Structure 1
Amino acid sequence: METGQAYVEIAPRLLGLREAVGLSVDELAAKIGVRPETVNLYEEGETEIPVSYLKDVANACGVDITSLISGHEAHLHDYTLVRKGQGLSVARRADYDYLHLASRFTNKRMEPFLVTVPPKDENELVWNEHGGQEFIYILKGRLEIWLDQRRHELEPGDSIYFDSKIPHALRGLDEAEAVFLDVIS
């Protein structure tokens, strides 16, 4: 699936799920702590949808995030084994490459991703904030992470754990991409 198409395919799943569980736009917005305009925006399929938003909707509606991303239900209960490079590709953002590393496991308490972030100029940073907490462990390259106004550089073997409500932005350094394990709760 091309990067630009993912949110177009996910949007009707969001709308269908909300309607299936009998929630109005206002009710879902209140449940997950966003404005009703945000719910409408993502259900229209005209903009990228943050993975944190998908996670919040899935939790509020009692489904696994996998069903929103792929359209298929997770089905493994004891464990899931994902071979190198075989995670579920989550082509939801033009600037990051995500592989979901536990998409087939049901009732997850965290969402693990292998993320690749390209280098970019500081003025091209994309800021995010969402509920929950996040753990990043650097595998390859150097990563710059901004947590509000604090800048940190991480190298392979470094990690950072933070409250995801803090506005944050990422970029690869040294004109190279950074690859890391990202676990969102």
Structure 2
Amino acid sequence: MPTNNEIGAKIRDLREMRRVSVEELAERSQLTVEKIHAIESGGVTTSLTPLLSIARGLGVRLGTFLDDSTTSGPVVSRADTKEKSAVRFAGAGQSGLEFHALATNKSDRNMEPFIIDVHAPESDEFELSSHEGEEFIYVLSGTLEAVVGKEKYVINAGDSIYYDSIVPHHVHSAKGVETKILAVIYTPN
């Protein structure tokens, strides 16, 4: 899986290939021009939500930024490559989400499956985010706190939550608890 610098370079290449200016992409994705420049240069570790907005603005899947190459057949993700494929996205208050993409290189997919290591938050402050689609989260270990709309849910190992991701939301580990989740994000075409 690419680094933040490689993700930024892919975004810039896709934008230029589609002849979309930074200003136009900022408008389409509802981000600032400065944010787009920072992401493209790799000068900022971004959260998942801006990447989803940029993907939507460019008319591509989120996975396009994460894939090294694509195949139309079945894709097997091997356990021994997980650590090499980790990308850490920042969040408001540094939520500490470390993504391990599953099914990378699968072309034309509508779901983005991840194993996510959710590290203890550095702060109690966080911002809710929203994007089109749906999310399914299954807690493999630890305890996750999910804020969806105005409700807070505590999800323990073996529990799951499914929600419309257009509803403002945020997930983080419970205080002092390292958490591992399986998350599947569906984004409509």
Match of 1:139 in 2: 140
Deviations 1:47-90 (A, max 9, x none): 212234334434543555445235x22x2212111133534322
Q: TM-score, normalised by structure 1?
A: 0.79
Q: Which of the numbers 38, 42, 52 marks the counterpart of 1:41?
A: 38
5 Å matches for 1:27-38?
27-38=24-35
5 Å matches for 1:42-57?
42-57=39-54
Match of 1:163 in 2: 164
Match of 2:74 in 1: 79
Q: Which of the numbers 8, 13, 16 marks the counterpart of 1:11?
A: 8
Moved more, 23-32 or 106-115: 23-32
Describe the shift of the 1:163–1:35 C-alpha distance in structure 2 as closer, same or farther (beyond 3 A): farther
Distance 1:43 1:13 in 2: 8
Match of 1:177 in 2: 178
Distance 1:10 1:120 in 2: 24
Superposed CA RMSD in Å reads 2.8
Describe the shift of the 1:164–1:114 C-alpha distance in structure 2 as closer, same or farther (beyond 3 A): same
What secondary structure sits across from 1:68 in the alignment? Answer: helix
Q: CA deviation at 1:118?
A: 1.9
Aligned length: 179
- Letter paired with 1:157: G
Q: CA deviation at 1:9?
A: 3.3
Distance 1:120 1:59 in 2: 28
Q: TM-score, normalised by structure 2?
A: 0.77
Distance 1:174 1:30 in 2: 37
Distance 2:110 2:31 in 1: 21
What secondary structure sits across from 2:81 in the alignment? Answer: coil
Q: CA deviation at 1:28?
A: 1.7
Question: Contact (CA 8 Å) 1:53, 1:130: kept in 2 or not?
Answer: no
Distance 2:9 2:108 in 1: 23
Q: CA deviation at 1:107?
A: 0.9
Distance 1:44 1:130 in 2: 24
Moved more, 20-29 or 78-87: 78-87
